[in-house]
């Protein structure tokens, strides 16, 4: 099982629901825990730790508070799916548990939603959990997933009305200028800063009204700017450096980089600096790929 891989049914990607960025991180971290290609029942409790939220960009001083607050809100959340000619409303989770001594919570997904988040026989979308590290906009995470459905095409056009329904905006941002600024521009800016994609978009009108958003996107280019930079050097975002630096510091294979008695935090800080160095990054590339980095 790749614990860094998120797999969702495209019906869930396009469903109508509203979750905060923290709630989405909790759901995605739990989904990444689900063993792929194994039978899944609603008897299983999937743990999410405070460390996992920290790796996804939540501040260490508020991570456990955010985790507990987020899971309590998530317990009340529902999702609306369109399946064939039916509209179905279901809850994300049926049970939550807290293990305060270890800063861990547990999620038991609701039975109806299980077929849509793993063991998929229909179309699905998958991406590395580290892709959304650093994003703090719930809209940006949703838009990123919508684009990843079309990653092999590099283009996707979505009507403004459909996007508003997917995000359950209701009467929020009734003016298109506000919708563009708060939702579209925020999402595109954060996707461009933190994820492996570069995104642009154009507005399409029907008459004088903007009715569709046409996104174009592609994977970020590998940097080959000077002869001093090896071909294997990749310019990682700050969010990628943060999440991978923390993960690499925990690998036994890299323990030789730490001085005797040196903490994981100090080693992680050292590795993060090395990931920015064209001559030192190369040694980490095999480990980065194993952790979900896609060159």
Among residues 192, 220, 248, the one where a domain terminates is 220
What is the average pLDDT value for the chain, to the nearest integer? 84
Same domain, 67 and 185: no
On the 0-12 / 13-18 / 19+ scale of CB atoms within 10 A, 122 is exposed
pLDDT in the model for residue 121:
53
Q: In CATH, what number is assigned to the domain containing residue 5?
A: 1.10.10.10
Most confident of 68-72, 101-105, 121-125: 68-72
Same domain, 116 and 3: yes
pLDDT confidence bin for 212, thresholds 50/70/90: very high
Residue 207 pLDDT greater than 80, yes or no: yes
pLDDT in the model for residue 143:
96
pLDDT in the model for residue 66:
85
Give the residue-averaged pLDDT of 221-241: 62
Instruction: Enter the pTM of the model.
Output: 0.69
Give the residue-averaged pLDDT of 115-138: 77
Residue 230 pLDDT greater than 50, yes or no: no
85 assigned to some structural domain? yes
More confident residue, 219 or 215: 215
pLDDT in the model for residue 261:
64
pLDDT in the model for residue 36:
67
196 assigned to some structural domain? yes
pLDDT, tens digit, 9 for 90 and up, residues 53-76:
776 767 767 778 888 898 999 999
Range of the domain at 159: 135-220
Number of domains in the chain: 3
pLDDT confidence bin for 35, thresholds 50/70/90: confident
pLDDT in the model for residue 232:
65
pLDDT confidence bin for 1, thresholds 50/70/90: very low
pLDDT in the model for residue 228:
43
Among residues 105, 130, 155, the one where a domain terminates is 130
Most confident of 100-109, 164-173, 235-244: 164-173
């Amino acid at each position: 099982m790749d614990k860094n891989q998120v797999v969702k049914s495209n019906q869930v990607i396009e469903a109508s629901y509203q979750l905060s960025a923290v709630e989405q991180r909790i759901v995605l971290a739990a989904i990444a825990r689900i063993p792929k290609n194994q039978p899944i029942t609603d008897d299983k409790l999937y743990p999410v730790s405070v460390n996992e939220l920290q790796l996804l960009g939540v501040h260490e001083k508020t991570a456990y508070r955010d985790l507990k607050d987020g899971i309590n809100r998530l317990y009340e959340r529902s999702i609306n799916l369109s399946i064939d000619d039916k509209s179905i409303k279901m809850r994300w989770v049926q049970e939550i548990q807290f293990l305060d001594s270890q800063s861990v919570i547990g999620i038991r997904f609701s039975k109806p939603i299980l077929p849509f988040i793993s063991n998929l026989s229909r179309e699905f979308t998958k991406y590395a959990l580290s892709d959304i590290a650093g994003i703090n906009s719930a809209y940006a995470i949703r838009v990123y997933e919508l684009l990843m459905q079309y990653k092999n095409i590099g283009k996707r056009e979505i009507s403004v009305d459909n996007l508003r329904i997917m995000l359950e905006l209701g009467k929020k941002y009734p003016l298109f200028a506000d919708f563009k600024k708060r939702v579209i521009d925020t999402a595109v800016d954060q996707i461009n800063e933190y994820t492996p994609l570069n995104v642009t978009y154009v507005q399409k009108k029907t008459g004088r009204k903007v009715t569709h958003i046409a996104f174009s996107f592609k994977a970020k280019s590998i940097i080959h700017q000077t002869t001093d930079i090896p071909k294997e050097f990749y310019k990682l975002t700050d969010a990628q450096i943060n999440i991978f630096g923390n993960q690499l510091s925990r690998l036994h294979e890299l323990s030789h980089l730490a001085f005797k008695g040196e903490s994981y935090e100090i080693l992680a800080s050292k590795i993060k600096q090395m990931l920015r160095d064209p001559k030192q990054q190369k040694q980490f590339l095999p480990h980065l790929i194993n952790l979900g980095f896609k060159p």
